[in-house]
Amino acid sequence: MDIPYLIEHPEALDDSTLHQLSKLVEEYPYYHAARLLLVQNAHKLQHESYEEELRKAAILLPNRRPLFDLAKAHEYAITQKPARKPEPPAKDRMAALIDGFLNQHKESDQSSHRMPTADPSADYMSYLFQQEAIAATVAVQYGAEAPPPLENPNDRTQSLIEQFMSVPPKERINLSEPDATQDRANIASTSLHEDFVAEGCYSESLAKICIQQGRYERAIAILTQIHLNNPRKSAYFADQIRFLRKLAINNKYKS
Interatomic CA distance for residues 30 and 57, integer angstroms = 9
Contact 64, 35 (CB under 8 A): no
Interatomic CA distance for residues 56 and 138, integer angstroms = 93
Collapse the DSSP code of 105 into the 3-class scheme (helix H, G, I; strand E, B; otherwise coil) and give the result.
Answer: helix
The whole-number mean pLDDT for each consecutive block of 10 residues of the chain, a chain of 255 residues, reads 86 90 91 89 88 88 84 69 66 67 58 54 59 60 51 50 55 45 49 45 71 80 80 75 80 70
pLDDT (0 to 100) of residue 205: 76
Q: Quote the pTM value.
A: 0.32
Contact 38, 25 (CB under 8 A): yes
Interatomic CA distance for residues 156 and 164, integer angstroms = 12
pLDDT (0 to 100) of residue 22: 92
Length of the chain: 255
pLDDT (0 to 100) of residue 178: 44
In terms of C-beta density within 10 A (0-12 exposed, 13-18 middle, 19 or more buried), how is residue 207 classed?
Answer: buried
Longest dimension (CA), the chain: 135
Could you give phi then psi for residue 251, rounded to 5 degrees?
-65, -35
The H-or-E segment that residue 75 falls in is none
Q: How far is CA 47 from CA 54, 103, 126, 189, 253, in A?
A: 12, 68, 97, 120, 101
Interatomic CA distance for residues 40 and 21, integer angstroms = 11
